[in-house]
């Protein structure tokens, strides 16, 4: 059980009050026929209760049960567009889709807002204003590609990109075509190295753990390093972010370059993490961009109950923006509940990994 300082407790209480107020505003917006989207208005009609009257605070969202991401599969996609934004240019971002119909989420400005907020957490000495970026991650119908580009532009830079189709990568893995997988990874890294060597003054990088490894190893084979390419800051995302990997990267790959791990997906904004090095055991704790999104760590058997600080539970996400409302979505991840900290006076989650109860059990023995 964690005990917060009086000052931090006061900030945590204030953050909670802001969250409750924001919940009222967002729920009022989504369930007002003048502003809300067809999906939620129809949902309320069927549910037989008016969220605008019954939701006073964040905890009241439990009346919605749990958001089901299957609702996002298939169209019409316009049912998710709030009436107030009907005339705005709409983006659609996809998730999944290696086989079958992908899940789709609409966006207007959310990705820009989320990444602008994230930008405020980046240290200028590592991510200099005006510096150019390289986006070395999934492209195609994903939020990430546009979001990173916007981040670069928001900070006064220009973003270079490479193509990377994660659905093809997943197919290669499932088919066991490891030679093709290696060749595809080499093809992606080749493009990155070409861009980095082309005199574009790139100082900032977005990438995933596997690509950071591949890039660092390739540069080292060529007698160089990530630092020697001119990169000074890496914004990284991906599920492989264990403390061990964080340490491995810092000790063996990055050559002193600053890296900030993040946790995010198409449904939420971007959960950032305070700096963590050897002194913190390389532990990574993510805090959602509250009040626009809230991460909770809950009892897998009773999602109404948050686990104690330090306890293990399933990650539950609530997204609260005027573009998109996702109440209490049970993620396919688990982790440990972390207390508020100075930088983020609300709960966080550490040790994020696939939810063990959903992992397939081994039924065939090895010899």
Partner 1 sequence: MIHFPALRWGTPYRSLDIDKVVHFDTGEPVAEVSQANPGIVARDLRKAARARQVLREVHPADLLQMVKKAAELFSTAELPLGDGTQTPDEFVRQQSATTGLPEHMCRMNMEKLRYVLDHIDEILASLTRHLDPGILARGYGEEDGVMRSYQATTSVLGMVLPSNSPGVHSLWLPIIPLQIGLVLKPGPQEPMTQAFFEAGVPREAVALYPGLGEVGAAVLNNCPRSLIFGGTATVEQYAGNPAVQVHGPGFSKILLGDDEADNWEQHLDLMVDSVLINSGRSCINCSGIWTPRNGRAIAAALAERLGPIAPLPPEDPNAALAAFTVPGQAPAISADIDAALDEGGVDEVTAAHHPDGRLVSRERCDYLRPTVVYCPSPDVAMAKKEYMFPFVTVVECEQRKMIGAIGQTLVATGLTNDARFEQELLDARNIDRLNLGPIPTIKLNWLQPHEGNIVDFLFRPRAFQRAS
Residues at the site binding partner 1, with contacts judged by CB under 8 A? 176, 178, 182, 209, 213, 217, 221, 242-245, 247-249, 252-253, 281-282, 361-367
d(CA 306, CA 328): 12
Sign of CA dihedral 144, 147, 149, 151: negative
- Name which of 20 and 255 has its Cβ closer to partner 1: 255
For residue 314, the minimal CB distance to partner 1 (Å) is 19
- Tell me the C-alpha to C-alpha distance, in Å, between residue 323 and each of 31, 60, 111, 152: 12, 20, 10, 23
- Judged by beta carbon, residue 1 or residue 364, the one nearer partner 1 is 364
d(CA 199, CA 260): 25
Q: How far is the CB of 213 from partner 1 (least distance, A)?
A: 5
Specify whether the CB–CB gap between 323 and 309 falls below 8 A.
no
Judged by beta carbon, residue 99 or residue 217, the one nearer partner 1 is 217
Considering the complex, state which of residue 62 and residue 210 has its C-beta at the smaller distance from partner 1.
210
Integer Cα distance of 303 and 202 in angstroms: 44
Is there a contact between 287 and 117 (Cβ–Cβ < 8 Å)? no
Nearest to 58 by CA among 332, 323, 333, 320: 320
Q: Which of 74, 79, 69 is nearest to 43 (CA)?
A: 79
**Coil/strand/helix, residue 312:** strand
* Of 5 and 362, CB closest to partner 1: 362
Nearer to partner 1, 1 or 367 (CB): 367
Closer Cβ to partner 1, 11 or 283, answer by number: 283
Smallest distance, partner 1 to C-beta of residue 269, A: 28
| Residue nearer to partner 1 on the CB measure, 256 or 367 | 367
- CB count in 10 Å sphere of residue 367: 2
Quote the least distance from Cβ 281 to partner 1, whole Å: 7
Closest C-alpha among 202, 185, 209, 188 to residue 261: 209
Smallest distance, Å, CB 221 to partner 1? 7
CA atoms of 266 and 321, how far apart (whole Å): 13
Residue 145 CB, shortest distance to partner 1, in Å, is 24
CB nearer partner 1, residue 185 or residue 266:
185
Q: Give least dist CB 189 to partner 1, A.
A: 13
Residue in this structure with the two tokens 């009773």, named with its chain if needed: 302
Question: Using an 8 Å Cβ cutoff, are 139 and 164 in contact?
Answer: yes
Q: How far is the CB of 365 from partner 1 (least distance, A)?
A: 4
Task: Compute the chain's Rg from CA coordinates.
Answer: 21
- Two tokens, residue 325: 């409302």
Distance of closest approach, residue 210 Cβ to partner 1, in angstroms:
8
Specify whether the CB–CB gap between 331 and 315 falls below 8 A: yes
């Amino acid at each position: 059980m964690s005990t917060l300082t009086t000052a931090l407790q006061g900030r945590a209480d204030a953050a909670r009050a802001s969250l409750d107020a924001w919940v009222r505003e967002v729920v009022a917006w989504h369930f007002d026929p003048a502003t809300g989207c067809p999906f939620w208005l129809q949902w309320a009609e069927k549910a037989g209760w008016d969220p605008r009257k019954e939701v006073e605070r964040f905890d009241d969202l439990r009346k919605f049960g749990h958001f089901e991401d299957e609702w996002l599969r298939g169209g019409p996609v316009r049912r998710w567009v709030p009436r107030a934004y009907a005339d705005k240019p709409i983006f659609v971002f996809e998730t999944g889709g290696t086989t079958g119909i992908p899940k789709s989420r609409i966006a207007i400005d959310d990705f820009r807002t989320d990444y602008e907020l994230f930008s405020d957490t980046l240290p200028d000495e590592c991510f200099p204003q005006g510096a150019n970026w390289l986006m070395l991650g999934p492209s195609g119908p994903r939020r990430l590609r546009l979001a990173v580009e916007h981040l670069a532009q928001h900070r006064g830079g220009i973003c270079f990109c490479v193509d990377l189709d994660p659905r093809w990568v997943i197919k290669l893995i499932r088919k066991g075509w490891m030679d093709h997988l290696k060749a595809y990874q080499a093809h992606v890294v080749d493009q990155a190295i070409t861009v980095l060597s082309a005199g574009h003054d790139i100082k900032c990088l977005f990438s995933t753990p596997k690509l950071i490894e591949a890039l660092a190893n390739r540069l080292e084979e060529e007698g160089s390093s990530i630092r020697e390419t001119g990169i000074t800051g890496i914004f990284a995302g991906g599920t492989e972010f264990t403390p061990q990997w964080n340490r491995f990267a810092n000790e063996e790959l990055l050559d002193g370059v600053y890296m900030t791990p993040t946790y995010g997906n198409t449904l939420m904004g971007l959960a950032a993490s305070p700096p963590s090095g050897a002194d913190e055991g390389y532990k990574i704790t993510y805090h959602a961009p509250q009040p626009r999104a809230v991460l909770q760590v809950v009892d897998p058997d009773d999602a109404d109950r948050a686990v104690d600080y330090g306890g293990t539970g399933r990650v539950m996400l609530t997204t609260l923006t005027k573009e998109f409302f996702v109440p209490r979505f049970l993620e396919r991840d688990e982790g440990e509940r972390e207390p508020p900290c100075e930088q983020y006076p609300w709960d966080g989650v550490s040790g994020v990994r696939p939810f063990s109860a959903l992992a397939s059990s081994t039924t065939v023995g090895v010899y």
